[in-house]
Amino acid sequence: MAFFEHHGVEKKESFHIFKLLTQTFPLHFHRAYELIVVNEGELLVNIDQKKYTLNKNDIAFIFNNQIHELKAKDHSDISIVIFSPELIGRFFMNYKGYVPENNVIHLSKAPNLDEIDSIYRQKSFLYDICGRLIDNTEFLPVEHSTKTEVLHKILLYVDRNYSDDCTLKVIAKQLQYDYAYLSKLFIHMTNMSFTEYLNHYRISQACYLLKNSQQSISEIAINCGYNNLRSFNRNFKKMTSQSPRSFREIT
């Protein structure tokens, strides 16, 4: 899942598709646009502190820099499309500085993403979704606040440093903010402590690596910031109700 924060940063036409089964991912943001397509099951999505429940054939259209998280409910089969704003340049320029009042649209049938195999089909598909979004919602000016900007900085720091010794005290020093203030702000805006968030983020990264890499469990633990394999296994089971080995073996 390490793809999230960095896609779209390169400022060129990029389009990436990922499949996820019954998986969650904590608060994050990125420059790229993101589509969350529900193929089967139910998914809870939080976008800029607004909660949505997505069902089969629903699509959440997340604008660049909107803070969002995914929470699988029971079984869910979803596709994630991450694409750069440059792919839909006209839409991007017309709605820059705005976000949808409602990020979710419903299709009669989920798109066959396997057929989108050229840049022309990519643009056709994306502009069709843009048109449907315009037909279904109003757009609101982006509201900037100091608290949101600080949260952005904290989340970005975690993404870049989660595999190292990443603590809120270090972040407070880096950002030149009072530690107690950041701790209260983080809990207020995310409804969890920084330590809880960091563990969720690391385990979410581990889930992705277990399914999409050949790294050993020990290597994944280290790459996700756990120097102690026992701590990694304990946290993994606490958050997924299964061991890393069992998670990897389940299709």
Label residue 143 exposed, middle or buried (CB < 10 Å: 0-12, 13-18, 19+): exposed
The predicted structure's pLDDT at residue 7: 41
Domains of the chain (ranges plus CATH)?
15-141 (2.60.120.810), 146-249 (1.10.10.60)
Pick from 171, 228, 218: nearest CA to 198: 171
pLDDT in 10s for each residue of the chain, 251 residues? 444 444 444 446 789 998 887 678 888 888 899 999 999 999 999 999 899 999 999 999 999 889 999 988 778 899 999 999 999 999 999 999 999 999 999 999 888 998 998 999 999 999 999 999 999 999 999 887 888 889 999 999 999 999 998 999 999 999 999 999 999 999 998 889 999 999 999 998 998 899 888 999 999 999 999 999 999 999 999 988 899 999 998 75
Q: How far is CA 203 from the centre of its chain?
A: 14
Pick from 4, 67, 70, 86: nearest CA to 37: 70
Composition of the chain by helix, strand, coil, percent to 5: 45, 25, 30
Q: What are the residues facing 59 on neighbouring strands? A: 37, 105
pTM: 0.81
Give the Å distances, CA to CA, from 145 to 5, 148, 149, 155, 172: 21, 5, 6, 16, 18
The predicted structure's pLDDT at residue 251: 54
Task: Dig out the tokens for 9 from the structure.
Answer: 């940063």
The predicted structure's pLDDT at residue 143: 80
Task: Dig out the tokens for 105 from the structure.
Answer: 């649209």
Residue 144: CB atoms within 10 A of its CB come to 8
The H or E element containing residue 58 is strand 58-62
Contacts of 234-238 with CB under 8 Å at 24 or more apart are 235/199, 235/202, 235/203, 236/203, 236/206
Give the Å distances, CA to CA, from 109 to 24, 39, 55: 24, 9, 12
Cα separation of 203 and 206, whole Å? 5
The predicted structure's pLDDT at residue 110: 84
Phi/psi of residue 247, nearest 5 degrees: -60, -40
Pick from 33, 11, 123, 118: nearest CA to 83: 33
